[in-house]
Structure 1
Amino acid sequence: MELKQESLAGTLESSDLFIRISPSDEPLEVVINSEVGHQFGDQIRAAVVETLEMLKVTKGIVIVEDKGALDCTIRARVHAAAMRAAGVTEVDWEALS
């Protein structure tokens, strides 16, 4: 999936996260700021990277402001932001399983 524009997803509310994805010609860069990063930083990064790999996103800048989101929320927010950034409007539900 090629990122064409900057996009946002999520909120800064408790138990959520805010994500900003921007296109870039450079390899994927993921920056995570989290209130629980010392405990769950590796798991947050894994959820973000695995979701982007599933979507075949290899280039771009991803900034995550985490407020204690669960893994399912992280993956959903990353997926939504990536689809918006790529201009995708239809969800391939079979690819999600």
Structure 2
Amino acid sequence: MKIIQPAFAGTLESSDLQVRIAPNPEGAIDIALDSSVQKQFGSAIEQLVRDVLSNMGVESALLEIEDKGALDCVIKARVQAAVMRAAETKQMEWRALS
């Protein structure tokens, strides 16, 4: 999926996260993560986000993520919603993440 416009999904409430996504003119995935559990889970959160982006076919995007302790299922859902909004699509090919 091609990211064509800025978009966001999520809130800054406890146990949630906010994902802001925009096109990246440099053609890469760039993730800026600010998490209340960054020391314990920062690398796992970033890897999960990269897995979701890969499964959705996103090859280029700028992401700013503010995490307030969200579970993996919430992280996946918020990233998917932000990508779909940024790509202006309403359909998604559902695949299970390993």
TM-score range, shorter chain: over 0.9
Q: Which runs of 4+ in 1 moved over 2 A?
A: none
TM-score of the pair, normalised by structure 2: 0.92
More strand by share: 1
Structure 2: gaps of 5 or more residues: none
Q: d(CA) in 1 for partners of 2:95 and 2:13?
A: 26
Instruction: Please identify which structure carries the higher helix content.
Output: 1
The equivalent residue for 2:3 is 3
Distance across 2 between alignment mates of 1:74 and 1:96: 16
Q: How far did residue 91 of structure 1 move?
A: 3.3
Identity across matched positions, percent: 44
Where does the alignment leave 5 or more consecutive residues of structure 1 unmatched? none
Could you tell me which residue of structure 1 aligns to residue 17 of structure 2? 17
- Tell me whether 1:70 sits opposite 2:86 in the alignment: no
**TM-score between both structures, scaled by the size of structure 1:** 0.93
Question: In 1, Cα distance between the equivalents of 2:48 and 2:16?
Answer: 14
Q: Quick one: distance in 2 between partners of 1:40 and 1:77?
A: 17
- For 2:91 and 2:79, how far apart are their aligned partners in 1? 16
Q: For residue 52 of structure 1, what is the amino acid of its counterpart?
A: L
Q: Distance in 1 between matches of 2:57 and 2:32?
A: 18
Cross-structure match for 1:80: 81
Q: How far apart, CA to CA, are the structure 2 residues paired with 1:72 and 1:96?
A: 14
Q: Could you say which residue in structure 1 is the equivalent of 2:95?
A: 96
How many pairs align? 95
Shift in Å, 1:39: 0.4
